[in-house]
Structure 1
């Protein structure tokens, strides 16, 4: 088996449309040139050993628009959301508005949203895990009516398709906001959606209703979703920026 060749990476800079374009170039035992844009925006170019760096620079310039497009896409992605804390004074969102967590003594466990505060009442002090569980169960109880109201707002947009109206279920999910089973017209929604503005909830409900017509995430799906909710990307980004 022949030995492979790889030179030390070198940093290169070009000027494209009056802006610097930086990239890391490495020569390898390969026949073609390869380009990669990483999530941090860095550009990496692998080129066949023995060819001039000037020729590589020309190829980078030819792909400059493609490189910039990918850099802009990565830059537009929301930063990782901060984690929630469950202690007095920590901030939690309810219906898209920030609320400070407040603990109160009472005979029974209860949660209430009052003037910018989420009040957690209990007969004895709550641990962070107990506070999280109490707040989650409260979201579950509030979710049914909120989800039904959202479907009332969204469903008229689907009138032209003569679909069977879906049934909604509250379901805690670790990695998604909702899911849909088209064959049974059943949509499951996370109670954590109660932390977001109603417009974000409407986006998720509409997204899942679109799956009643298109089961996958193909171009046809996104064309439909955009036609029914042109500003859906705004609400998706706001939703994904909520603290986890």
Structure 2
């Protein structure tokens, strides 16, 4: 088997339409040139061994618009929310406010607020997985009252449509904040919503109520949502920025 060739990567810079275009070039045992734009915006070029860097630069300039388009796409994507942690001293959220997690000892598991702390008391020290489960259960117990309050704030906006008032359910969901069954006017909301500010909860509930009128996510749906809550994008962004 012949040995493969791969030179050390080298950094290259070009000027294209008054923009600096940086890329990493590596020569390999291959027949064609390859381009890749990674999610962090970095550009990587793999070129056949034996050709000149000047020739590669010409090919990069030919693909410059394609490269810049992909960099812009990645740059426009929202920054992923940080991951949640469940050790002592970690930050937990309730109604949009940050609380420091403190562990305590008690004969049975309880969760309570004390000043700027969220206190989890258990008979023995919980694991991170047990802590997560206990906090999720606590959020679920708080959710029903918060969801009812949110409906009181949101539902008057739908008065003109003479709709059947929806029934709300607390439902754990992995990939969404809420769901709606228009035929039965049932709306399910994630208990994790109580971690966010009430305005974020109102946005999700209003979104699901809009599905009572428009079942899909068409332009008509978003036109309705924007008319009833013009600043919904602000609350969506804040909600999605919560640690997952």
Pick the TM interval, shorter chain: 0.7 to 0.9
Q: 1:242 and 1:194 mapped to 2: Cα distance?
A: 11
Question: Who is 1:105 aligned against?
Answer: 105
| Residues 129 and 158 of structure 1, relative CA distance in 2, 3 Å threshold | same
Partner-residue secondary structure (3-state), 2:227? helix
Q: How many residues align?
A: 224
TM-score by length of 2: 0.75
Residue 73, structure 1, aligned to residue 76, structure 2: yes
Question: Who is 1:162 aligned against?
Answer: 162
Q: Cα offset for 1:155?
A: 1.1
Question: Who is 2:129 aligned against?
Answer: 129
Deviations 1:112-162 (CA, angstroms, capped at 9, x unpaired): 112111111223333333222221111111000001111111111111222
| Residues 208 and 126 of structure 1, relative CA distance in 2, 3 Å threshold | same
Deviations 1:92-125 (CA, angstroms, capped at 9, x unpaired): 1111111111122223321111211111122333
Deviations 1:48-67 (CA, angstroms, capped at 9, x unpaired): xxxxx979957856x89966
Residue 176, structure 1, aligned to residue 179, structure 2: no
RMSD: 3.4
Q: 2:126 and 2:70 mapped to 1: Cα distance?
A: 51
**Cα pair 2:13 2:20 within 8 Å, conserved:** no
**Cα pair 1:112 1:118 within 8 Å, conserved:** yes
Q: 2:61 and 2:143 mapped to 1: Cα distance?
A: 56
**Cα pair 1:43 1:67 within 8 Å, conserved:** no
Question: Who is 2:150 aligned against?
Answer: 150
Question: Who is 1:96 aligned against?
Answer: 96
Q: How does 1:1-244 map to 2 (within 5 A)?
A: 13-16=14-17, 18-20=18-20, 39-41=39-41, 70-74=73-77, 77-85=78-86, 87-244=87-244
Q: Cα offset for 1:15?
A: 3.2
Q: Cα offset for 1:213?
A: 1.2
TM-score by length of 1: 0.75
Q: 1:169 and 1:221 mapped to 2: Cα distance?
A: 23
**Cα pair 1:78 1:240 within 8 Å, conserved:** no
**Cα pair 1:182 1:211 within 8 Å, conserved:** yes
**Cα pair 1:23 1:44 within 8 Å, conserved:** yes
Partner-residue secondary structure (3-state), 2:82? coil
Partner-residue secondary structure (3-state), 2:188? strand
| Residues 224 and 22 of structure 1, relative CA distance in 2, 3 Å threshold | farther
Q: 2:234 and 2:186 mapped to 1: Cα distance?
A: 26
